[in-house]
Amino acid sequence: MAQVQVQVQAAAATMEMMLKKPQASSSCSDDMADLERALALEVAAPTTVPRQDSLYRDATRAAGGGNHEGQDGWARTLRLAFQCVGVLYGDIGTSPLYVYSSTFTGGIRHTDDLLGVLSLIIYSFLLFTIIKYVYIALRANDDGDGGTFALYSLISRHAKVSLVPNHQAEDDINGGGDEAVLAAKPSLRGSVRRRTVQLASSREQRAQWVKQLLETSKPVRISLFLLTVLATAMVISDACLTPAISVLSAVGGLKEKAPNLTTDQIVWITVAILVLLFAVQRFGTDKVGYLFAPVVLLWLLLIGGVGVYNLLRHDVGVLRAFNPKYILDYFRRNGRDAWVSLGGVLLCFTGTEALFADLGYFSVRSIQLSFAFGLVPAVLLAYIGQAAFLRRYPDQVANTFYQSTPEALFWPTFVLALAASVIGSQAMISCAFATISHSQALGCFPRVKVLHTSRQYQGQLYIPEVNFLLALAACVVTLAAKTTTVIAEAHGICVVLVMLITTLLLTLVMLLVWRVNAAWVALFFFVFAAAESAYLSSVLYRFAHGGYIPVAMSAVLMAVMVLWHYVHVRRYEYELERTVSHDTVRELLARRDLVRVPGVGLFYTELVQGIPPVFPHLVEKIPSIHAVLLFVSVKHLPVPHVDAAERFLFRQVVSESGGGGRVFRCVARYGYRDPLEEAKDFAASLVERLQYYVRDVNLYGVDHQQAGARVSYPSSRCDSMAMARQRSVGNMNMMRPSASYTESLALSRARSSGMTTTMMLGMHSASCTDQQRACRPTAAGVFAEEMLTPAESFSELSRMGSVQAAVKMSLEEMARIEEEQRFIEREMEKGVVYILGEAEVVARPHSSLLNKVMVNYAYAFLRKNCRQGEKMLAIPKSQLLKVGMTYEI
């Protein structure tokens, strides 16, 4: 079979490099353009890049979903803006229920203190919620996904900060155009380095310095990981505190109509509502999702209208609070008490972390629109109206919200307050489910059952075990605290710690990804870090009054997550050090006593590179393998979604011609928001894509197992190749769209059975499926155009660009390819066996006592009580084969 020789043109390589590079700031674009032109002039000859036998490089190059702001019309934006009112603003919108009562716990000493506190509320709300989150943090999304975990994923895609040692020299996911050129011509490395130093701006150099610091300093990488885990633990803890304080505040209004109700009775009513709230989680929020937005919208209109009513009736003079001098007067008059009261003021912007974490369901523009014209006026008017009411009735501060509500509106207000509290709690619970699912996908949380409650909305999750623990924690906190004051102290420390960690991560994003001017980065960091540190010191001052609750819960969660990730990393290192070479595998498969078992075997492993050490263990104990064997690695990438067309990547370990059977390696790539399919559907999709791979490998004739084998990496774009084809093909007899694989295969069978035909092999990228191509007239020989499906090709060459090549094939070769595909299909029909390597992880005999306790007892307890691998992958027990082995770490 003829070999495909692909030449990479320098201009096309430069274009690919520029398209793959992250967008730099506008001030340095000219310098980078000069650098690209200099590289294009220096590199004029076609180059080839040596193949690297690693799937990780390809596995981390999946296209992300992205948040396509420019593609959203105003109709869709307005619809999303209406929907996010119900999903995102329940927690922030119910803060007026308890902010003033939590701030003035000792009563109002001076009526002007209300102006100082109102001024603090206004400017804290504007500074943190609007400026920081809505107009800065939302822009730092990870392909449309938000939250501290998404910020960490975004940073990890621009710098190798992952603690799992699965990066290699060629694992640059941000491009690689420069490295491709320099690998072909090492003599250019010095000149490119000099040009880079001369042309790159100070922002580029600063970004490179930050990247080098993150990649070379292990303490920095560990600190970054621990901060992310701490923020994740705090968000999960907040998911049991938000329902407690919101529902308890709403139910507390019953005392206005039933003064005989005791505190204990109010608490038990709250507990009953909390139990009901967590019990309905298994049905999913999409069942009542369309009711959320109207309810919260009515709630916002109600509190805004009541605020205007109180302002006009009691004291219009509170509008002086927009003058920030009243903040200084408040601190000057009250001193330490004013500083301590910050713990209550910060409750006005609780819920912003959920707003950021739930970004993946909406667009940035829709959130900004609904926030600016819906939430901000209503909430600020509510705070202003309550301040006007308290200026006249300062003794009513303990129950400000319901006391300031007109008598005729009490019951509608109570019902809407309770409904809005439940909706706000629902948002935090869903946020906790999503956060745990993300953490589990990247090896930072024990395996738990994740259910997708909606077929239409992918992000709506339900985790039974976590839901039970959150419900138990929320009820215990409510029964123990009994008042919103204590829960507010605990709630506040969660909010401010997450915000402070978000500030640190955003600063790294500004330096590394956005490459913002250093002065703006410094201003952002010092303003927000100083303000949030002041709030943090306030809530820590009253640590004993309730702040210890989230700290204790977060410490337990963080210990579990760190321990699980530690063993996960050490286990990966153990397998990586003992990876079985391909030569060893061939020797094992060449044994005469090895029995070929009919069917397809899927051998699950975490390794992307090489064969796991448990495989020789299996062959030695049970000398038999399946007719078709695939080493499958389920890879979760640090991106929200991976397109289904880019799910599987393959390598051939041993071919039938080599005498070792049909053995392949496969990487199944998922984003941390992508659900895993059922085992049957997964196997069917995998085998189908394997047939495409077998077809492509035989068509292109690249034997990557041969020593020194080289594959050219095409970099030219689809439109440029289309122009080249139009110039090269003079007389076109016919124009038609690309045929599907089924149609093409049927056509090739019909032609091969009757006559000799000439076909033109043309390969395009998946993005070019709508373009037309030409077919040459009949000549002597057979060309395999119909054997190739451009849109469905899964070989390396078809993923990386567009190539045009003419490969003359005989009918015997085409028949052999078809027979190979039929063989795999027949073996699939005979049955699929799922092989899991259940390794028992223990500490080394001479390791430290702490390591033995962590691995042999704590980790063993977690693993025993969490879900097993076959349940996570939904593997039927009748098709499961477990292989046991002990790993000493």
Let me know whether 15 and 102 are in one domain.
Answer: no
Alpha-carbon distance of 697 to 699, in angstroms, equals: 5
The answer to whether residue 825 is domain-embedded is: no
| DSSP annotation of 515 | -
Residue 387 has pLDDT above 90, yes or no: yes
pLDDT beyond 60 at 747? no
Domain assignment present for 878: yes
* Rounded CA separation 241/495 (Å): 11
Q: What share of the chain is helix, strand, coil (3-state, %, to 5)?
A: 65, 10, 25
Please give the average per-residue pLDDT across 316-336, as a whole number. 94
pLDDT at 739: 35
Assess contact for 479 and 267: CB atoms under 8 A.
yes
- Same-domain pairing of 389 and 258: yes
Query: Are residues 11 and 179 in contact, defined by beta-carbon separation less than 8 angstroms?
Result: no
pLDDT for residue 364: 84
Cα-based torsion angle of the residue sequence 694, 697, 700, 702 in order, rounded to the nearest 10 degrees: -160
Instruction: Give the alpha-carbon dihedral of 865, 866, 867, 868, to 10 degrees.
Output: -70
What SS3 class is residue 627? strand
**Alpha carbons 715 and 8: distance in angstroms, whole number:** 6
pLDDT at 800 over 50: no
Q: How far apart are CA 383 and CA 311, in angstroms?
A: 10
Q: Do 108 and 235 belong together in one domain?
A: yes
CA distances from 178 to 170, 188, 196, 713 (A): 12, 10, 11, 13
Q: Name the maximum alpha-carbon separation found in the chain.
A: 101
Distance CA 206, CA 788 (A): 47
Q: Do residues 126 and 167 share a domain? A: no
Both tokens assigned to 729: 């093909």
- Clarify whether residues 620 and 475 are in a common domain: no
Residue 409 and residue 328 in one domain: yes
Phi then psi for residue 653, to 5 deg, are -85, -50
Examine residue 235 and state whether it is found in any structural domain, yes or no: yes
pLDDT at residue number 818: 86
Residue 726: per-residue pLDDT: 37
- Do 211 and 267 belong to one domain? no
Instruction: Round the average pLDDT of the chain to a whole number and report it.
Output: 74
Q: What is the pLDDT of residue 328?
A: 94
Backbone angles phi, psi at 463, to 5 degrees: -120, 105
Q: 402 or 37: which carries more pLDDT confidence?
A: 402
Q: What are residue 103's phi and psi, to 5 degrees?
A: -80, -50
Pick from 437-451, 763-777, 810-824: least confident:
763-777
pLDDT at 72 over 80: no
In the predicted model, is pLDDT for residue 87 greater than 80?
no
829-861 pLDDT per residue, tens: 898 999 887 778 889 888 889 888 999 999 988
The pLDDT of residue 350 is: 85
HSE-up (13 A, CA, CB side) for residue 807: 28
Helical (H) or strand (E) element with 785: none
Does residue 581 carry a pLDDT above 90? no
Q: What is the pLDDT of residue 458?
A: 55
Q: Which burial class, exposed, middle or buried, applies to 733 when counting CB atoms under 10 A from its CB (0-12, 13-18, 19+)?
A: exposed
Whether 449 shows a pLDDT value over 60: the answer reads yes
Residue 837, domain member (yes or no): yes
Task: Check residue 527 and give its pLDDT.
Answer: 95
pLDDT of residue 507: 95
Say if strands 595-604 and 624-637 run parallel, antiparallel, or are unpaired.
parallel
Q: What is the mean pLDDT of residues 410-435?
A: 86
Between 565 and 71, the more confident residue is 565
Sheet strands (E) in 400-497: 451-452, 461-462
Tokens linked to 1 = 């079979």
Percent of the chain with pLDDT over 90: 25
Q: Let me know: does 628 contact 600? Beta carbons within 8 Å.
A: yes
Which has more pLDDT, 87 or 537? 537
Q: Which position has the higher pLDDT, 409 or 354?
A: 409
652 has a pLDDT exceeding 50 = yes
DSSP-assigned beta bridge partners for residue 886: 840
Amino acid at 329: D
Which residues, other chains included, contact 565 with Cβ-Cβ below 8 Å and sequence gap of 6+? 163, 225, 229, 443, 444
When mean pLDDT is compared across 69-73, 74-78, 572-576, the lowest value belongs to 69-73
Question: What's the confidence (pLDDT) of residue 716?
Answer: 25
* Alpha carbons 91 and 99: distance in angstroms, whole number: 12
Q: State the DSSP string of 723-775.
A: HHHHHH----S-EEPPPPHHHHHHHHHHHHHH-------EE--GGGTTS-EE-
Lowest mean pLDDT among 178-187, 411-420, 754-763: 754-763
Residues 6+ apart with CB under 8 A from 748: 759, 784, 786, 787, 814
What would the pLDDT profile of 153-195 be if each residue is shown by its tens digit? 889 888 888 776 655 332 343 334 344 334 444 444 444 444 4
Asked which of 175, 198, 219 is the last residue of a domain, the reply is 219
Question: DSSP readout, 220-237?
Answer: HHHHHHHHHHHHHHHHHH
The residue out of 426, 456, 484 marking a domain boundary is: 484
Does residue 306 surpass a pLDDT of 60? yes
Single residue among 484, 507, 537 that ends a domain in this structure: 484
Structure tokens at 271: 């507990």
**Amino acid sitting at position 802:** S
Mean pLDDT of 300-323: 95
> Could you count the other beta carbons within 10 Å of the beta carbon of residue 186?
8
- Kindly state the average pLDDT of the residues 733-741: 34
Both 789 and 848 in one domain: the answer is no
653 pLDDT more than 90:
no
Q: Is 132 helix (H, G, I), strand (E, B) or coil?
A: helix
- With a cut of 70, say whether residue 397 has pLDDT above it: yes
Whole domain around residue 726: which residue ranges? 718-809
Question: Which helix (H) or strand (E) is 777 found in, with range?
Answer: none
Question: Do 97 and 194 fall within a single domain?
Answer: no
d(CA 757, CA 774): 15
Which tokens sit at 566? 């530690």
Dihedral sign, CA of 303, 307, 308, 313? positive
298 with 347, same domain: the answer is yes
pLDDT tens by residue, 472-522:
999 999 998 888 888 888 888 888 999 999 999 999 999 999 999 999 999
Which 3 state secondary structure label does DSSP give 159?
coil
Q: Are the C-beta atoms of residues 339 and 119 closer than 8 Å to each other?
A: no
Q: CATH number for the domain including 416?
A: 1.20.1740.10
Same domain membership, residue 804 and residue 787: yes
Asked whether the whole model's pTM tops 0.85, one would answer: no
Q: For 109-137, what is each residue's pLDDT tens digit?
A: 888 999 999 999 999 999 999 999 988 99
Residue 23 confidence (pLDDT) above 80: no
150/195 same-domain check: no
Reading the block at residue 783, the tokens are: 């060309």
The predicted pLDDT at position 586 comes to: 81
Report the alpha-carbon distance of residue 862 to residue 883 in Å, rounded.
21
> Residue 40: inside a domain, yes or no?
yes
Choice among 32-46, 307-321, 797-811 with the minimum mean pLDDT: 32-46
pLDDT digits 0-9 by tens, 767-798: 333 333 333 333 333 333 333 333 333 334 44
Q: Is residue 175 part of a domain?
A: yes
Look at residues 418, 428, 482 and name the one whose alpha carbon lies nearest to residue 240. 428
Q: Is the residue at 544 inside a domain?
A: no
> Could you give the CA distance from residue 329 to residue 229 in angstroms, rounded to a whole number?
39
CB of 673 within 8 A of CB of 450?
no
Binning pLDDT at 50, 70 and 90, where does residue 379 land? very high
pLDDT digits (tens, 9 = 90+) for 217-268: 989 999 999 999 999 899 889 888 889 988 998 898 888 888 888 889 999 9
- Look at the block and give the residue holding tokens 């924690």: 473
Structure confidence at residue 810 (pLDDT): 67
Position 164, amino acid: V
Q: Looking at the 3D structure of the chain, how many domains does it have? A: 4
What residues pair up with 428 in beta bridges, in sequence order?
none
β strands within 613-661, DSSP E:
624-637, 648-654
pLDDT for 532 equals 94
Q: 68 in a domain, yes or no?
A: no
